[in-house]
Structure 1
């Protein structure tokens, strides 16, 4: 699979490295060509560097590894290159006090869909710190990490589920893109519990056999 990466931060590094190891072709795009080149060199596996437009043009799947607030602006600038592409949003619109910044409007993923109406947007990979995505694989107590995936296009979902498996995780159907806001709200809740309370979020939900009584 050809994967374009918008952004040169930690999430771009962690996920793209895993995908390059799995044999995918990766091109990293950033505003700063030096940062893009350095990240491509760290990723290895033949990863290339480009500008944001070049990375968007390259990928069959494009990862928007961008902070909330910058994501829609960047995606809007390269929207012509994203027509009919799978666009993966891993951002979290979480502000001071672990507040969900999108609680009164569209989710971050929906804002990307509005910025690039020709793209097929999928929400995934937003519930974990980048260090989890660096694990080979992310397995806890003998169970692979489950990754919820939200989107409206079945072909796009199939591609993203394959990428979830390529990082050693198990994809979980999260519903349509209108449910992406629930994933973002879950991230806001989890981050607050982890950071402020030191809580074990994994302990919140009972085993499936007990979940419905």
Structure 2
């Protein structure tokens, strides 16, 4: 979902290069040891975090981990940055770049988890390759994730969910958790779930939230 352009976001991003990596050269790996105070912490990445409610909440609740928000839209990056600064989240970095280049920005097998929350469904068949659960993206995630790394995926779009299950299954992934109505799961699962802005909106409209956790098994 494209956000309305906010001129303040561009200036905020430009004023905080210590927190945002703006459109880096994909031919060079990023030295994350210079971006985080403690690089030994587990690294988790959210691809397409939107306004950033999920990733900023995760960073706030889990100071024992490092987080990267990989977001293409400058306005969204600015919104995430504003929250990061307000909450002084030193364990969160923002990478303003195309997710298609994710394997270029991280060392192989360096991340413990990748989150895909309410990604654009790209419903037209001719746009299949743009879906974040298309096989070429899965291959890149496999490169970035550690051997026991996991993808956590949520959507309100039944078509994208069905496609993603099929795509991941064909890729040989293992499913640790699958739900077609996340908000009506067991209490402990619901309590552990951190909502995104879109998730809250969609669920309030009575839409079921689909979710899965999957890994690549032994590489």
- TM bracket, shorter-chain basis: 0.3 to 0.5
Give TM-score, length-normalised by structure 1: 0.45
Scaled by the length of structure 2, the TM-score of the pair is 0.44
Higher helix share: 1
